[in-house]
């Protein structure tokens, strides 16, 4: 597929500086470039590549002031990353989605003809998959699962019985949705008796779930991922957790049972949350932090384990890393005091 800079400018509502008829056929990284590619400058540390890139077209912030001449045709936009999202979505849609139900799929439900089910996928009984959804090979979907329109379920995903998934969701390879929550009752003899997990998982519209992420079914009721939430790879969501709308969680984070994360929170990689707490809307948690108590004030930032206020952590760390020097100073002062006392 080839498109002109002018066509892309119309798509992005961008201002063109350079040749509007130059053709591009794919995106590229700015340091790699290549004739017929389109790239972007979003991070200032890559600016040096802007003046040497061989890409045909580059997307720039409309208020960007170059330090040297730029050879590529420029598309000037208010927000580079917003424009990039639109552009990549355009190229992605033109790859061509697979169609039809493979003869090698094992389907035990009556499905809409306007979907795709790949080879060796297994579809249980009373499953509903709406128009435009794509189920890639080797996916397992249990009984009574509901999947909305235009969803993509990549190879190896396991969706347990009773799970409900909204529209425009993406679930990446080897994610497990609806596995049992970690519920065991200690017995007098020191053993543990399993507590049956009879709830389900509800994933609302426009959610994306990364590869190898696990979302446990509720013990009773529902584990719920609300609309617009984005989950990275290798995340653990325990039973009866609620993730708020438009919250983003980076890789290897873990949320313990019955914790409720608010709307529009941003959670860094390897962060951990204890169970049975509520986290206010807009909370920001730095990577590797541990949240051990409820967060009641919205739009606050945390760092450390157990986490404290972000700025308090930075001040504390500034002191902590200087402790050996401070210790030496204190010892020197103590020696001086003793010397003065002896006189």
Token pair recorded at residue 231: 């989950």
Output the CA–CA distances (angstroms, integers) from residue 60 to 19, 66, 85, 278, in the order listed: 15, 10, 14, 40
CA 304 to mean position of chain CA atoms: 21
Give the C-alpha separation, 327 to 51, whole Å.
51
Q: What is the separation, in whole angstroms, between the first and last Cα of the chain?
A: 90
| 35-44: average pLDDT | 94
pLDDT score of 79 more than 60: yes
The residues, ordered by sequence, that sit 6+ positions from 343 with a Cβ below 8 Å of its Cβ are none
pLDDT score of 191 more than 80: yes
pLDDT at 94: 52
Is residue 37 within 8 Å of 28, Cβ to Cβ?
A: yes
Domains of the chain: 3-93 (3.40.1390.10), 100-314 (2.160.10.10)
pLDDT at 93: 65
pLDDT score of 321 more than 90: no
Output the CA–CA distances (angstroms, integers) from residue 288 to 97, 272, 302, in the order listed: 38, 7, 11
**Strands, DSSP E only, in 133-173?**
134-135, 140-141, 146-147, 152-153, 158-159, 164-165, 170-171
pLDDT at 95: 60
Q: What is the pTM of this model?
A: 0.82
Percentage of the chain modeled with pLDDT above 90: 86
Which strands form 146-147's sheet, in the order they lie side by side? Answer: 128-129, 146-147, 164-165, 200-203, 222-225, 242-243, 260-261, 278-279
pLDDT score of 40 more than 90: yes
> Which one of the listed residues 49, 90, 172, 239 is annotated catalytic?
239
CA 307 to mean position of chain CA atoms: 22
pLDDT score of 114 more than 90: no
Respond yes or no: is residue 276 known to be catalytic: no
| 240-267: average pLDDT | 98
């Amino acid at each position: 597929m080839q498109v002109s800079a002018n066509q892309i400018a119309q798509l992005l509502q961008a201002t063109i500086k350079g040749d509007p008829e130059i053709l591009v056929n794919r995106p590229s990284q700015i340091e790699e470039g290549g004739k017929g590619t389109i790239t972007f400058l979003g991070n200032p540390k890559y600016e040096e590549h802007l003046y040497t890139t061989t890409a045909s077209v580059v997307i720039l912030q409309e208020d960007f002031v170059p330090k040297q001449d730029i050879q590529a045709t420029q598309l000037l936009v208010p927000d580079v990353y917003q424009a990039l999202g639109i552009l990549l979505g355009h190229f992605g849609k033109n790859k061509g989605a697979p169609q039809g139900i493979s003869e090698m799929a094992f389907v035990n439900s009556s499905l809409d003809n306007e979907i795709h089910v790949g080879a060796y996928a297994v579809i249980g009984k009373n499953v509903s998959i709406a128009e435009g959804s794509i189920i890639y090979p080797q996916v397992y979907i249990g009984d009574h699962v509901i999947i909305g329109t235009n969803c993509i379920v990549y190879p190896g995903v396991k969706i347990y019985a009773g799970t409900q998934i909204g529209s425009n969701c993406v679930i990446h390879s080897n994610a497990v949705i609806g596995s049992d929550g970690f519920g065991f009752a200690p017995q007098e003899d020191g053993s543990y008796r399993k507590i049956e997990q009879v709830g389900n998982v509800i994933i609302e519209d426009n959610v994306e779930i990364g590869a190898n992420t696990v979302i446990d079914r509720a013990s009773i009721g529902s584990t719920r991922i609300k609309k617009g939430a984005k989950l990275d790879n290798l995340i653990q969501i325990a039973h009866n957790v609620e993730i708020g709308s438009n919250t983003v969680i980076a890789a290897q984070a873990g949320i313990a049972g019955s914790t409720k994360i608010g709307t529009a929170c941003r959670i860094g990689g390897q962060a951990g949350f204890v169970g049975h707490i509520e986290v206010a809307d807009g909370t920001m948690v730095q990577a590797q932090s541990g949240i051990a108590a409820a967060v009641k004030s919205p739009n606050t930032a945390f760092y450390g384990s157990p986490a404290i206020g972000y700025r308090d952590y930075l001040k504390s760390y500034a002191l902590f890393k200087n402790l050996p020097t401070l210790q030496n100073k204190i010892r020197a002062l103590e020696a001086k005091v003793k010397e003065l006392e002896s006189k």
